[in-house]
């Protein structure tokens, strides 16, 4: 597949998602977020490409990467096209005016590469990832540590009536009677507000967009660690405000925020944070 074909596929997928949201079909975004939870390290554009070509994919890698893991792509399988960055030496017209003798300048370009889902391979069994089956377990402690590292206070007081949690700029409060899974998701939701919606651009986002972005981040992070997410996020997700740029911007923000939280609470995260007061 050529780069222009992959870009068209991405644009078409974004257009279909926008149309579905415009028509009130939030399950389309829920499906996208579920794929994002499985591939949270990928850009939102590559997630759209995976969703368009193989929405049931669970773990993808390149041909050689699978071989290094003792697995081999079956003959006749078609790869999933995604974009990969590469650095190239800048063309002459791109470095015009620069002094000679300097190190050659490089520019970032993207090319199409192909990855394959584990279901397209045979070979050595892969180790099963740890699943929490509805119990966030140590991830809650790691999440608390990350909240503290962000300079945010976390406690269980002063939650408005009818709310599960609240963030007030530098402070997150959660209800004291939540289940372990609910508490984890609520903390992630409120942390997303702290990370996304406390800047000078807060006024650029409606309440609906802010709440949806935070809930989408909570959905992705919760699903990625193995929590049962059900339909909680699909009941009111509506971040489409009439143009694809708005949708694209939100999806990018959701992916980056969820990915950063998951990186912070991963296997190498510190786990010695105190519980909320």
Of 81, 77, 80, 82, the C-alpha closest to 120 is 77
Query: In the prediction, which pLDDT does 188 show?
Result: 94
61-67 long-range contacts, CB within 8 A, separation 24+: 61/115, 61/116, 61/118, 62/113, 62/114, 62/115, 62/116, 63/114, 63/116, 66/116, 66/121, 66/123
pLDDT at 3: 81
Give CA–CA dist 70/67, Å, rounded.
Answer: 5
At 115-154, the pLDDT tens digits run 999 999 999 888 765 443 467 889 999 999 999 999 999 9
Task: Quote the CA–CA distance of 82 and 3 in Å, as a whole number.
Answer: 9
Q: Is 123 exposed, middle or buried (0-12, 13-18, 19+ CB in 10 A)?
A: middle
> What stretches in the chain show pLDDT beneath 50?
130-133, 235-236, 270-277
Instruction: Report the SS3 class of residue 121.
Output: strand
| Cα–Cα separations (whole angstroms), residue 184 to 52, 140, 273 | 31, 6, 14
Burial-class residue 31 by CB neighbours within 10 Å (0-12, 13-18, 19+): middle
pLDDT number for residue 210 = 84
H or E element: which one contains 56? Answer: none
Q: What are phi and psi for residue 60, nearest 5 degrees? A: -120, 150
Plot region of 57 (φ>0 → left; ψ -120 to 50 → alpha; else → beta): beta
| pLDDT for res 275 | 46
User: 195 near 146, Cβ under 8 Å?
Assistant: no
Question: What pLDDT, in 10s, does the model give residues 62-88?
Answer: 999 999 889 999 999 999 999 988 777
Beta bridge partners of 223: none
Give the phi and the psi of residue 210 in degrees, each rounded to 5. -60, -45
pTM of the model: 0.74
From 245, 252, 218, select the one nearest 234 (Cα to Cα): 218
Other beta carbons within 10 angstroms of residue 63's beta carbon come to 15
In degrees, to the nearest 5, what angle opens at C-alpha 276 toward C-alphas 273 and 277? 125
Would you state the pLDDT for residue 133?
45
Q: Quote the longest CA-to-CA distance of the chain.
A: 67
């Amino acid at each position: 597949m050529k780069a222009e074909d992959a870009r068209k596929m991405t644009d078409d997928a974004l257009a279909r998602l926008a149309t579905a949201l415009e028509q009130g079909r939030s399950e389309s975004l829920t499906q996208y977020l579920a794929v994002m939870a499985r591939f949270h390290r990928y850009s939102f554009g590559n997630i759209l490409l995976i969703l368009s070509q193989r929405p049931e994919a669970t773990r993808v890698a390149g041909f050689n990467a699978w071989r290094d893991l003792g697995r081999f792509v079956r003959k006749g399988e078609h790869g999933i096209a995604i974009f990969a960055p590469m650095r190239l030496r800048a063309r002459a017209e791109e470095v015009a005016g620069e002094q000679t003798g300097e190190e050659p300048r490089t520019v970032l370009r993207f090319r199409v590469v192909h990855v394959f889902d584990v279901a397209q391979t045979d070979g050595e069994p892969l180790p099963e990832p740890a699943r929490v089956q509805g119990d966030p377990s140590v991830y809650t402690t790691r999440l608390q540590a990350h909240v503290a590292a962000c300079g945010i206070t976390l406690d269980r007081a002063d939650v408005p009536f009818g709310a599960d949690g609240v963030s007030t700029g530098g402070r997150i409060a959660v209800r004291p009677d939540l289940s372990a899974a609910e508490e984890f998701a609520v903390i992630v939701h409120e942390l997303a507000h702290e990370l996304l919606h406390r800047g000078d651009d807060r006024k650029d986002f409606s309440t609906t967009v802010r709440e949806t972005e935070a809930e989408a981040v909570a959905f992705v992070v919760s699903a990625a660690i193995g929590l049962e997410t059900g339909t909680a996020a699909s009941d009111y997700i509506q971040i489409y405000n009439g143009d694809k740029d708005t949708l694209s911007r939100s999806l990018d923000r959701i992916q980056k925020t969820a990915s950063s939280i998951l990186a912070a609470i991963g296997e190498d995260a510190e786990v010695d944070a105190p519980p909320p007061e």
